[in-house]
Structure 1
Amino acid sequence: MLELCDVQSGYGETQVLYGMSIKAGPGRVLAILGRNGAGKSTTLKTIMGLLPTKEGSMTFDGKPIPRRPYDIARAGIAYVPETRDIFPSLTVRENLEIASKRFPGGDDGWTMHRVLELFPRLGERMDNGGMQLSGGEQQMLAIARALLMNPRLLILDEPTEGLAPIIVKLIHDKLQDLRTAGLSMVLVEQNFGFATSLADDVVIVSKGQVVWTGTPDAIRADTEAQHRWLGV
């Protein structure tokens, strides 16, 4: 579904990715693990057109990924950034309507009703402004807004960062529901247990390259790789 081949990217003259190559299959969850500064978030930003590709190729369903973020969204890729990026001055309802009106899903797609069934807490906060939400509620809103874009691939960057354990479990359970429903996902996450319990496939990144590839069971058993590449 998604494939990056020898991608080089970075910020201005500062190169971060040095030949990044990953594959995310349809109906599967790919977890990208690595220490801080390894290039995980840079990889996601490059996929989403927020950073330029200096070399290499990126395809989605066998076609080159467009380079404008809006065109990438229209192609079927939705992104939940580490910073969540909800609109703080808009209500929950308005944040959701921005996506639902631009990306109607039809009878089988994601609708306002359906995302509120997934995150009923948002239904209780529809008239509250984004700045009035807790961190967990903001994360729910960011995921719900992404789903309303009716993506075929959902990309999430550090969805548990800064959240209380009870909210981490809630987010995990909701992502597990999405996984069971067959939604393809790419997940960047520092929480080793969270990531490996959701993933079908795992890659570890260091210095802008993939240094380990395998299954969740394999990385859980490979304590040497955990220590070397993740500091676990």
Structure 2
Amino acid sequence: MLELNTVESGYGETQVLHGLSLKAQAGRVLAILGRNGAGKSTTLKTIMGLLPLKSGAIAFDGKPIERQPFRVAHDGIAYVPETRDIFPSLTVRENLEIAEARFRGRGGGDWTMARVLDLFPRLGERLDNGGTQLSGGEQQMLAIARALLMNPRLLILDEPTEGLAPIIVRLIHDKLQELRQGGLSMIVVEQNFGFATSLADDVAVVSRGQVVWAGDPAGIRGDTQAQARWLGV
């Protein structure tokens, strides 16, 4: 579905990705693991066109991916950044309506306002609250709900549990599991080893801008040497 082949990217003159290659398959969840600074978020930003592709190739459904973020989104990839990036001056309702109006029915998708509120009932209770009035967990729910209203074929999430209380982490895990069981393709960058490996079908471990381990969740859970070397687990 999405394939990165020897990708090099970074920030200005600072190169972060050094020939990174990985593949996300349709209908599956790929977890990208690694220490801070390994290149995980840089990988996602490069996919989305937020950082330049210095060399290598990125293909989505076999076609070279567009380099402008709005075109990547239009092609069916939705991105939930680590910073969530909801519109703080808008209400929950307005944040959702923007995405619903722009992407309604795109690609035959059936995500609607009613459906995302059914997935995240708490948002239904907060529809008229502004973005700055939401807790961190509510902001994360809103960011995911807004991405789903884009009716994506691939959902990308960067550190979805960052800074959240354990009870909210469990809730987010359960909701993403629902999406997985519904067949939505996902890429999840996550520091929480247990969260990521219990959700994923496939795992890629990144270090110094390269994939250094790839396999399934059972494989990485059983490879204590790889955990110690690449993850510090």
TM-score band, normalised by the shorter chain?
over 0.9
Whole-Å Cα distance in 2 between the matches of residues 73 and 10 of structure 1?
Answer: 21
* In structure 1, C-alpha distance between the alignment counterparts of 2:150 and 2:32, rounded to whole Å: 23
Write out per-residue CA displacement over residues 175-207 of structure 1, whole angstroms, 9 at most, x where no aligned residue: 000000000000000000000000000000000
Counting matched residue pairs gives: 232
Identity of aligned residues (%): 80
Contact 1:105-1:148 within 8 A present in 2 as well? no
Deviation at 1:105, TM superposition (A): 2.1
The one-letter code of the counterpart of 2:220 is I
Runs of 4+ aligned structure 1 residues displaced above 3 Å come to none
Q: How does 1:113-124 map to 2 (within 5 A)?
A: 113-124=114-125
Gaps of 5+ in 1: none
| 1:135-214 equivalences in 2 (<5 Å) | 135-214=136-215
Could you tell me which amino acid in structure 2 is paired with residue 112 of structure 1? M
Q: Residue 44 of structure 2 contacts residue 156 of structure 2 at CA under 8 Å; is this kept in 1?
A: yes
Matched, 1:223 2:224: yes
Contact conserved, 2:109 with 2:151, CA < 8 A, in 1?
no
Give 3-state SS (helix, strand or coil) of 2:157's partner: strand
Q: Secondary structure at the match of 1:202?
A: strand
**For residue 61 of structure 2, what is the aligned residue in structure 1?**
61
Q: CA RMSD in A?
A: 0.8
TM-score of the superposed pair, with normalisation by structure 1: 0.99
Q: Do the aligned residues in 2 keep the contact of 1:92 with 1:127 (CA within 8 Å)?
A: yes
TM-score when normalising by structure 2: 0.99
User: How much has 1:109 moved relative to structure 2?
Assistant: 1.1
- Residues 206 and 229 in structure 1, CA contact (< 8 A), matched pair in contact too: yes
List alignment gaps of at least 5 residues for structure 2: none
- Partner SS state of residue 116, structure 1: helix
Q: Distance in 2 between matches of 1:179 and 1:221?
A: 23
Match of 1:99 in 2: 99
Q: Retained in 1: the 8 A contact 2:103–2:151?
A: yes
| Amino acid paired to 1:101 | A
